[in-house]
Amino acid sequence: MTVRGVLVAALALVVAVAAGLVVWQLAFDDDRGELERAVAMAPGDAARMSWTDWAGVRRELGLDLDADSSVEEVQQLLDLGFDADLTSTTALRESALVMQERLGFSPASLSWELFSQGALGASVLMRPATVDLDGVADRLRDLGYDEPDRDDGVWTSDSEVDPITAEITPELAFVVLDADRDLILSSDTREGLDAAVEAAAADESSPVPDGVLEAVSGAISAAVYDGDTACGELAMANADPTEQEAGEALVERAGKVNPLTGFAIAAVPGGEVRVAMSFESEAQARTNADTRAVLASGPAPGQGGDFADRYALGDVTAEGDVVTLVLEPVEGSYVLSDLSTGPVLFATC
């Protein structure tokens, strides 16, 4: 090799190493957990997000599945996950067996799923674990999806023509296979999918305060709301009038409450459930930590009985503007699925 060739090769090596170091540095600078990274890629109009860490669910249940697993094994995953209250957050449950057989991916082979609901529609952001995206493209083509003219384009199904649409959730009507980011994105509307694709590419900010997501980092499954949605969907206004009156009396005795700016309820490894609520200031968080602890350990109007019938209340802490409650579910109770929809007295605004 000539001296010039040696210099060129050396320069190329330096550039490659530098590029690798940049990638390495970026990866280690991003200390967010999987949930935080996924929510940062959610559409900006997302008001409610449902997180299912499928790899975590499989680990928790002691199941080893992949894209080649049988539908019976996938059904076992769904059944055991339901019994353990780990899968109420998924948008894919009713479609899972068909997905495994015909789409080439499903809860058996996904790393995680984030289901987002907003004004433009509902979308699902999925990270594959053991999935061949080229194989998925072949499956979509065979099922009658209209093929895009570029690799990261939108695969479109026609509900009046394609029989598969009767077997899967509407959120799989429009699909994008993003090999560069190792993502599968889908939605029930083209507008919703376009918004999801744009948000995933931007990866800029979360629709809920970062502190809420940090408080439930490591979640296997979670329901996450922005403040307005939490104050609406979890409100005691969803209870009948008698229960509303009981709730108002309990709140009056407990102390001051302030509106939420964000909310999450999450199941974490080992069976614990955590609730995170954010407020406008640290002072409000300290006040509400006391009030919410009282409400979370007493009667549960609108839900029935007492909260103690469902869980033992553990530590209640205020850190910054976020209050975190630790709940230890009573055996046989469904704390996450029951308390991710209203009315929930301790989440009142």
Amino acid making up residue 272: E
276 CA to centre of own chain: 15
Lowest model confidence (mean pLDDT) among 13-17, 254-258, 300-304 = 13-17
Q: What is the DSSP string of 100-146?
A: IIIIS--TTTEEEEEEEEETTEEEEEEEESS--HHHHHHHHHHHTPB
Whole-number pLDDT of residue 18: 42
Reported as a pLDDT band with limits 50, 70 and 90, residue 162 is confident
Query: Is it the case that residue 234 has pLDDT exceeding 50?
Result: yes
Six token digits for residue 238? 């969803």
Reported as a pLDDT band with limits 50, 70 and 90, residue 96 is very high
Whole-number pLDDT of residue 16: 39
Average pLDDT over residues 224-228: 95
Give the ranges where 1-132 is alpha helix by DSSP (H). 3-29, 34-40, 54-61, 71-83, 96-98
Beta bridge partners, 239, equal none
Whole-number pLDDT of residue 32: 64
Q: What is the residue extent of each domain of the chain?
A: 32-202, 210-347
Six token digits for residue 289? 């930590």
Query: Residue length, the chain?
Result: 349
Average pLDDT over residues 323-337: 97
Which tens digits make up the pLDDT trace of 2-42?
A: 434 433 343 343 333 343 433 333 333 345 689 999 999 99
Query: Is it the case that residue 158 has pLDDT exceeding 90?
Result: no
Whole-number pLDDT of residue 59: 97
Which tens digits make up the pLDDT trace of 60-94?
A: 999 999 999 999 999 999 999 999 999 999 999 99
Contact present, 167 and 98 (Cβ < 8 Å): yes
Measured distance CA(334)–CA(339) in Å, rounded:
8
Measured distance CA(67)–CA(301) in Å, rounded:
44
Contact present, 123 and 200 (Cβ < 8 Å): no
Percent of the chain at pLDDT above 70?
90
Non-local (6+) Cβ contacts of 29 within 8 A are none
Measured distance CA(268)–CA(336) in Å, rounded:
10
Whole-number pLDDT of residue 160: 66
Residue with tokens 């209209």: 146
Whole-number pLDDT of residue 167: 87
Nearest to 50 by CA among 39, 34, 59, 61: 39
Beta bridge partners, 124, equal 115, 186
Question: Could you give the count of Cα atoms lying within 13 Å of 170 in the half-sphere of its Cβ?
Answer: 9
Contact present, 39 and 213 (Cβ < 8 Å): yes
Average pLDDT over residues 323-328: 98
Contact present, 39 and 114 (Cβ < 8 Å): yes
Residue 189 φ/ψ, nearest 5 degrees = -135, 155
Per DSSP, 31 falls in state -
Which tens digits make up the pLDDT trace of 264-290?
A: 999 999 999 999 999 999 999 999 999
Whole-number pLDDT of residue 161: 66
Six token digits for residue 159? 């509900």
Whole-number pLDDT of residue 341: 92
Six token digits for residue 182? 């190792």
